[in-house]
Amino acid sequence: MVPFKKTEEQVLEYVPNDVRLTVTASPAKGQDATIDLSVALAGHGYTVAPHLSAQQVRNRAHLADIISRCRAAGLTDVFVVGGDPTGEPTEFGDALALLQAIHEHEHGFTNIGIAGHPEGHPAVSDEVLFQALKDKAALATHIKTQIVFDPRKILAWSRELMNRGIDLPVHVGVPGAVHRQKLLRVSSGLGIGESAKFLKKQQNMFWRFFVPGGYSPNKIIKGIAPQIGKPDNHIEGFHVFTFNDLAPTEAWRTRTLHTLV
């Protein structure tokens, strides 16, 4: 979720506190807003992982303050990303530099996530991406992926991780029950992947994919779930991007769990 003004209120209204949460580091809101909301939600009994962005943590003093606040609030989960440039100066050039600085502290984090990109990056080669992921993996406990709509690409990528000796658990990023117009609007700007960009260009295909009865998080999940636990990959579960559509996403989650009982 994004740390907007009413996010805390919406979480308390719609999300039970046994659901694990993450709070993004929004360039518009800044890193401190992420920590503020994470600490507030932890005070209500939620398990919360704030995103720490290398582009928003200004320097080691700022990082020390963030770690101190997280420890005081009992936050043990964190997700470390490179982040989008904000125009503000930062001491950390990328996620690896921020991870290394975190480990210089008695941070208290027992669950440290890093980002995975099954569809690659248009400006970075696959070899560079895999090497960067391997470097970060030594300082982390799991990988969360960007959203990719094709389960086959996710599976192929997770198998390649094993081939390259990257053996962290993988949490596959899926969109929640997000309104199709919102998902179309944000798909290019929030780390969602080339499949979403393709759909955005092909408007007719996009609308067929997301008409009522068409798009559902279940499609991605059903394509991946049978592979969980197999020896050729380390996929462990799913990470749901709500884009702050908390009420419909929680309703979908509840319905989905009931069908498994």
CA angle 113-116-11, nearest 5°?
Answer: 55
- Can you give the pTM of this predicted structure? 0.89
**pLDDT band at residue 220 under the 50/70/90 scheme:** confident
Is residue 213 situated within a structural domain?
A: yes
Report the mean per-residue pLDDT for the chain: 88
Is residue 132 situated within a structural domain?
A: yes
In the predicted model, is pLDDT for residue 206 greater than 50?
Answer: no
In the predicted model, is pLDDT for residue 205 greater than 60?
Answer: no
Neighbour tally for 231: CB within 10 Å: 6
Q: pLDDT: is 141 or 121 the higher one?
A: 141
In tens, the pLDDT along 138-158 reads: 999 999 998 888 899 999 999
Is residue 259 situated within a structural domain?
A: no
Report the pLDDT value the prediction gives residue 200, as an integer from 0 to 100.
Answer: 52
Angstrom CA distances, 143 to 27, 83, 105, 139, 220, stand at: 22, 16, 22, 11, 18
DSSP 3-state assignment of 229? Answer: coil
The secondary element (H helix, E strand) that includes residue 209 is: helix 203-210
Report the pLDDT value the prediction gives residue 215, as an integer from 0 to 100.
Answer: 52
In tens, the pLDDT along 184-193 reads: 666 545 444 4
What percentage of residues in the chain have a pLDDT greater than 90? 69
| Angstrom distance (rounded) from CA 158 to CA 7 | 33
Structure tokens given for 128: 């560079």
**pLDDT band at residue 218 under the 50/70/90 scheme:** confident
Q: What is the mean pLDDT of residues 175-203?
A: 60
Report the pLDDT value the prediction gives residue 261, as an integer from 0 to 100.
Answer: 57
What CATH number is attached to the domain comprising 192? 3.20.20.220
Q: What is the mean pLDDT of residues 61-83?
A: 97
Is residue 261 situated within a structural domain?
A: no
**Structural domain boundaries enclosing 97:** 7-253
The count of structural domains within the chain is: 1
CA angle 192-245-116, nearest 5°?
Answer: 25
Sign (positive/negative) of CA torsion 208, 192, 34, 176? positive
Is residue 73 situated within a structural domain?
A: yes
Q: Is the Cβ–Cβ distance between 174 and 147 less than 8 Å?
A: yes
Is residue 208 situated within a structural domain?
A: yes
In tens, the pLDDT along 39-64 reads: 999 999 999 999 999 999 999 999 99
What percentage of residues in the chain have a pLDDT greater than 70? 86
Beta bridge partners of 121: 124
